[in-house]
Chain A
Amino acid sequence: MTHASGDTLALQGESRGPSQKQQARLNGLMRSQATFAWALIAPAALYLMLVVAWPLVETIRLSFTNANIGGEAYIGTANYEKLFSSRKFSQTISRTFYWMFLSVSLKIVLGLIGATLLNAAIPGRALFRMLVMPPWIVPVAIGCFGWLWLYNGHFGIISGVLQYVGILDGPFEFLAYKNSAFYSAVITDVWVGLPMVTIFLLAAMQGVPRDLYEAAYVDGASRWYRFRRITIPQILPVIITMSILSIIWTFNSFEIIWILTEGGPRSATTTLIIDTYKMAIANYKFGQGAARAVVVVTLLSVFSLVYLFALHQIKKRFEAV
């Protein structure tokens, strides 16, 4: 990068002819740039050290104690031993990954469909683009109260309509059964995350140079072909970015499940975050909660690295074709 800017400077130098003094000033600035860069980064770094890094270190410390409302004492790795010998906890881990996989795939697939629809040259699309925004804008907690009503089997619209058309022969409580509660929570999570994914993918699609499509069109390529061979490769970086952000957010998604089911029935919707919150905040077992938090952070870091690496390989292959 330094090299590249050197070239640009050289070009400018020819046209404008910087004086010796200016050149010296520029060189000086170059040398001091590391110091300056760090000075610019320092406020953000210090802030995050205080508000994120210190709490993280404190969490790690707490995870080796039995901290609760009455006090705390060092107990070694007992919290972790208990965690890893618990069958419930391993179930929670696999449930969390299933939850994440399902929700993120749906967000990306539906986001691609939505972005394509909103990118189509049809009358009304300006309005449609606006109408896709609301779930992103409203506080998650408020949207979830709306869903709570939707899923109500006796007084909600979904069960009501399904009974009216005869698909159901009586009320059905979506949040009462293990499977239906789980998939209901997934759908709400998709609903919350979908607008952002759609808008970002739409922006990416609009950034694809039009002449690429026109050339393909002239060659007689079908819409599907153009989508597959031009759109997807062109917007791949954004798809990857959005899927990573979605993974992190879905993994950490708390309010949705908490408001809909609080992790029930019988833990069917308990993800790692819910489990951690329940233990630490609702039950005041800070030590055991902290051990869970440490596991959450570790798992998420490892998973993201592996995922990034895998995507990088796919991207390379894609570009090679």
Chain B
Amino acid sequence: MRNKLILLAAAGAGAMLSASAAQSAELHFIRCGDNGLDQDRKVIAEFEVKYPGNTVNMENLPWGTCQDKSLKLAAAGSPPSVSYMGSRTLKQLADNNLVVPVKISEEQQQSYQPGVLGTVSYRDQFWGFPRAFSTKGLFLNCDIFEEAGLACEAPKTWDEMYETAKIIKDKTGKAGVGLTGKDFDNTMHQFLNYLYSNGGQVIDPSTNEITLNSKNTLETLKFYGKLVDVSQDGPTAFERTQVRDLFNDNKVGMYIDGPWARSQHKEGINTIAAAIPAGPSGVSGTLLITDSLAVFKGSGHEDLAMEFARMMTTGDSQYELDRPEGWGLTPILKYEELGYEKPYYMDDPYWKVFIDPIPTGGPEPLFVDYKAMQTTINSMIQGIILKDDTAENLVSIAAEELEEFK
């Protein structure tokens, strides 16, 4: 009932606002980080030409604070018009009536890579324009493999992965595999890569049922428990960029990272990227993450804001962001079908690693209280890393706790 009311209210507000959109408005746009500023300015200029009289006030904030600021502004009743948000926050934003559902045409829907729209869907609507897309792969430091007397070949299964890591640890004293365990988003992300490669799932998006308590999760968590013995010291103090620092320092044989990692790796070390090894109950998969441009409710010009967000996330604007000279992301659109001639990822074995597993990947689980969900999952992971409890107990406790946050 409450949901219905919200929808009605949203529709009503939308109708009223389209009338006012003709007048001049100043859009407040919040974005994160310094990368790609010029490209965004270009789109803003185009927008201001296309919709004369309207202006865009772009606020560029550091990564650590940008999303919190948008939420804070929304909670305080002065929401931004458009803001860069992790798609995992959309369910919470939608449930609290802070964002409006966005209209994505059939045609536009077809242009997305599979799985992308799943990260912004909830209650049969889209709650943001997918903006940045990433998948993950396993990176190998071939110098360490060589030092351990191994051929630099990626393990295909978890058993192979553990064996490889153990040989590295035994032969070189270095960490066979890098693990993240800090209470950070990417600790959960890394775990989900393994979970999805073992046929597991946290929540069923269609029924909203918690599906964490499964044999698949149990196997994954137990595998983590094994990996701790062949990983760097103290995974609970590490998040992904710190593991990468160790990798760059030739201290870690393998770790999971996104396609941008290539440009972050130190020159002179030999690396290869490969698909994430498959667990005993699944096939190699990946976590599909998107960030989105969300259109906030109550700015007074939601339709115009939606138009601006659409311009930002389509065509060249999106391509500039995705390509290696931009953020270096997994392509979010099927550019080859959109008339781009030989987009950056075509016929490139590196990009194949990140594009091939998309169909077998899974989204960041959507929860109303995603932060609490993240804390719960991370606590489960830390529990096995610190050998606090049995995998069985950790999984069932986590699954139980999650009920409250869906």
Contacts and interface: CB of A to CB of B under 8 A. Distances in A.
A–B contact with Cβ pairs below 8 Å: the answer is yes
Interface of A: 68-71, 153-155, 170-178, 262-267, 282-285
Given A173-B233, A176-B237, A266 B95 contact: no
Given A265-B181, A284-B75, 10 more contacts: A69-B71, A170-B173, A171-B233, A173-B233, A173-B236, A175-B234, A176-B237, A177-B234, A177-B236, A284-B371
Interface string B329-347: 0000000000000000000
B45 to A, nearest CB: 33
B236 A176 contact: yes
Contacts of B388: 266
B74 A154 contact: no
Contacts of B237: 153, 173-176, 265
A278 B181 CA distance: 19
Interface centre among B232, B237, B249 (most CB of A within 10 A): B237
B290 to A, nearest CB: 21
Contact of A170 (B183, B233, B386): B233
Interface residues of chain A: helix, strand, loop or mixed (majority):
loop
B233 A70 contact: no
Nearest to A71: B96
B382 A69 contact: no
A70 B98 contact: yes
Contact of A154 (B182, B246, B372, B379): B246
A76 B103 CA distance: 40
Contacts of B96: 68-71
Contacts of B235: 176
Interface string B91-106: 0100111100000000
A110 B372 CA distance: 40
Nearest to B95: A70
Contacts of A69: 71, 74-75, 92, 96, 98
Interface of B: 71, 74-75, 92, 95-98, 173, 181-183, 232-238, 245-246, 249, 251, 369, 371-372, 379, 382-383, 386, 388
Given A69-B71, A283-B372, A284-B71, A264 B233 contact: no
Given A154-B246, A265-B382, A173 B183 contact: no
B301 to A, nearest CB: 22
B236 A265 contact: yes
Contacts of A178: 386
A173 B228 CA distance: 14
25 contacts: A68-B96, A69-B75, A69-B92, A69-B98, A153-B234, A154-B232, A170-B233, A171-B233, A172-B233, A172-B234, A173-B233, A173-B234, A173-B236, A173-B238, A174-B237, A175-B234, A176-B181, A176-B236, A262-B183, A264-B236, A265-B183, A266-B379, A266-B386, A282-B371, A283-B369
A88 to B, nearest CB: 10
A264 B97 contact: no
Contact of B251 (A154, A176, A264): A154
**9 A-B pairs with least C-beta separation:** A176-B234, A173-B234, A70-B96, A176-B237, A265-B236, A173-B237, A69-B75, A176-B236, A264-B183
A195 B100 CA distance: 53
Contacts of A71: 96
A266 B383 contact: yes
A219 B245 CA distance: 65
B78 to A, nearest CB: 13
A220 B74 CA distance: 74
Contacts of B371: 282-284
B189 to A, nearest CB: 17
Contact of A265 (B245, B246, B249, B386): B386
A71 to B, nearest CB: 7
B401 to A, nearest CB: 10
B74 A176 contact: no
Contacts of A172: 233-234
Contacts of A284: 71, 75, 371
Contacts of A177: 234, 236, 386
A171 B232 contact: yes
B233 A153 contact: yes
A176 B233 contact: yes
Contacts of A263: 183
Contacts of A68: 96
